[in-house]
Structure 1
Amino acid sequence: MAVPLAILDLDGTLVDQESAAGEWAQQFGSTWSLDSDAVEAISSALAERRPKGEVFAEIVRRFALPVASDDVWTDYRTRMPALVRCTDADRAALIDLRSAGWVVGIATNGMVDNQVGKIRATGLSELVDGWVVSSEIDVRKPEPGIFRELARRLDTALDGWMIGDSLDMDVAGGQAVGLQTAWITTDPASADDPVPTITAASVADAVRVILA
């Protein structure tokens, strides 16, 4: 019998990316004496699902900052690992999966220094069997290659679940490679959205259903 595989997204799924980005925006705004409206605009831009290089170029241009956008992006990647958090309940869920005989991995879009920094700083590196970051293989979710590469690294079949907060990246991507999917959200889906196997408010809630 094949060992089941659980693939999890990182930002917005295992770690609270939005709150951490908001905290970074507050610190950045203080450094550059930006008002609260500017800080809110930066926080909103960071929440968008698009390449962060574009976001930081836009921020520097919009607020006429005398700094290179690449330097701002580097600062963001350097500081974010210390700002993100993973809940105790979600940590326990990962332990439960592995105790039940599952192989557990993380598939995340982003830059290696930032994403691996988060995985290590939160202690997730000790709770999963491995990970893959899009920038190191030049393949992003929802492309099948990133899921296949993670399964290859973990030396296991691509058979199990994809758990994530993005319908387009995680649910649609997981479905394309034959995985069952858990959408982490408290929002309703629209009629045109991919339909996940289950919907849950947190990783812990999803894992309880998966292991039941």
Structure 2
Amino acid sequence: MPLIALDLDGTLVDQASAARAWSAGFVDEWRLPAGEVDVVATALTARRPKGEVFSEIIGRLGLPTAADDVWLDYRSRMPSLVTVTDEDRIALTELRAAGWTLGIVTNGMLDNQEGKIRRTCLDSLVDGWVVSDDVGVRKPAPAIFEALASRLGCALEGWMIGDSLELDVAGGAAVGLRTAWLDDGSDPTGYRPDLVVDSVAAAARAILDGQPSATPR
């Protein structure tokens, strides 16, 4: 059956809330001003390589620790902090029951991203996944989508569901996938997602119904 590729952070899992929870613990541990929780959490939700982000955070704050050590702590703790909604879990089950092949395509470090997938039991709800750290290429490069289709043994046709216009919508469209964008408030000018939705569950309903339930932008 055709493929539904899904982003992980900000799409299947609540990355923003998890990043804020980790940031609160980090600020408390180092006895930093309370306002740093927002600053650090915002930096961590930016779509950038986390190695760069942690180097900037530690350098700016002048903390007596290595950025790599803090990054490792973040990666080890995040799988226990992220959550998946019940509605999205049900939606994944319904999509697979309807015959769709489901795969997660995500940028990030293998230990962190696989930890999230397994800890939230998403591994039992999808057919497989690829992580940029493992395959050596990041979204929106076509090669990471091709790696997912190859790993799942299916054609690269179907849908890409994600919250990033640049990484998920543009990347998915470039390899011939239709795209469902989880509106995060970004300016969609220059991008043309096939669906604009507020959750994976909403995208699944539209796909299963065979007609858009949200207005394309």
Q: TM-score interval w.r.t. the shorter chain?
A: over 0.9
User: 1:87 and 2:90 equivalent?
Assistant: no
Question: What are the Cα deviations for residues 21-79 of structure 1, in whole angstroms up to 9, with x where unaligned?
Answer: 00000000010001111221111111111110011011111111010000000000000
TM value normalised by structure 1? 0.97
More divergent stretch after superposition (29-38 vs 71-80): 29-38
Identity of aligned residues (%): 59
Quote the Cα distance in structure 1 between the aligned partners of 2:115 and 2:180. Answer: 25
8 Å contact kept, 2:101–2:127: yes
Q: CA deviation at 1:120?
A: 0.3
Give the paired residue count: 209
8 Å contact kept, 2:16–2:45: yes
In the TM superposition, 1:1-212 aligns within 5 A as 3-185=1-183, 187=185, 189-192=187-190, 194-212=191-209
Quote the Cα distance in structure 1 between the aligned partners of 2:115 and 2:47. Answer: 20
Query: Quick one: structure 1 residues 108 and 181, their matched pair in 2 at CA, closer, same or farther if it must change by over 3 Å?
Result: same
8 Å contact kept, 1:119–1:125: yes
Question: What are the Cα deviations for residues 185-209 of structure 1, in whole angstroms up to 9, with x where unaligned?
Answer: 25364433x1100010000001000
CA RMSD of aligned residues (A): 0.9
Q: CA deviation at 1:15?
A: 0.2
Query: Quick one: structure 1 residues 135 and 186, their matched pair in 2 at CA, closer, same or farther if it must change by over 3 Å?
Result: closer
Which segments of 5 or more consecutive residues in structure 1 lack a partner in the other structure? none
Quote the Cα distance in structure 2 between the aligned partners of 1:188 and 1:136. Answer: 29
1:139 match: secondary structure: coil
1:36 match: secondary structure: coil
Quote the Cα distance in structure 1 between the aligned partners of 2:15 and 2:186. Answer: 20
Query: Quick one: structure 1 residues 40 and 187, their matched pair in 2 at CA, closer, same or farther if it must change by over 3 Å?
Result: closer
Quote the Cα distance in structure 1 between the aligned partners of 2:98 and 2:36. Answer: 47
Task: Supply the AA of the counterpart residue of 1:54.
Answer: E
Quote the Cα distance in structure 2 between the aligned partners of 1:48 and 1:155. Answer: 32
Quote the Cα distance in structure 1 between the aligned partners of 2:201 and 2:99. Answer: 17
Task: Supply the AA of the counterpart residue of 2:144.
Answer: I
Quote the Cα distance in structure 2 between the aligned partners of 1:4 and 1:191. Answer: 29
Quote the Cα distance in structure 2 between the aligned partners of 1:150 and 1:44. Answer: 29
